[in-house]
Amino acid sequence: MALGSFALVAMIAAATGEARAQAARAEPAEESAVAAVLRRAGVAPTRAAVEGRDPKARAEALDALERSYPLPRTVLDLENRLPPDPNRVMDQLGLVRRLGAPVTDLSGSIPTARQITDALAPR
């Protein structure tokens, strides 16, 4: 009896997992601004992509969005590179640096997109 119960539980778990996977692939109930942006970038606005909870779906959507903007090669080449003077940029943004820390402390304040753009502008 225990083996039969285990098989039943396994079948229910598999069905539940498949139902969750189908729900993640499902179209959102209504067209949102996020869904519209995803469509323009050529990404199917699945529930997982729109909600951004699934790391893989989120990464794929962000990569597609990134490729959809006609950025100059000089800008694209800057990806994953430090600016020429990273300490100046951090000081300008009011970010706290700690030697040996793998990340920047943003608990005090979060710079706006405009502040970041201004700080990264060539001098």
Tell me: the pLDDT tens digits for 77-93?
Answer: 888 888 888 888 888 88
- pTM more than 0.75: no
Residue range of the domain that includes 115:
82-120
Assigned domain for 58 exists: yes
Q: Exposure of 38 by Cβ count < 10 A (0-12 exposed, 13-18 middle, 19+ buried)?
A: buried
Q: How confident is the model at residue 116 (pLDDT cuts 50, 70, 90)?
A: confident
Q: Which residues, including other chains, have CB under 8 Å from residue 65's CB and lie 6 or more apart?
A: 37, 38, 41, 43
**Residue 21 confidence (pLDDT) above 50:** yes
Q: Could you report the per-residue pLDDT of 24-57, keeping only the tens digit for each?
A: 555 554 678 888 888 888 888 888 888 888 888 8
Mean pLDDT for all residues in the chain: 76
Assigned domain for 91 exists: yes
Question: What pLDDT score does 29 carry?
Answer: 47
Say how many residues make up the chain: 123
In this structure, are 87 and 64 located in the same domain? no
Question: How many separate domains does the chain show?
Answer: 2
Assigned domain for 93 exists: yes
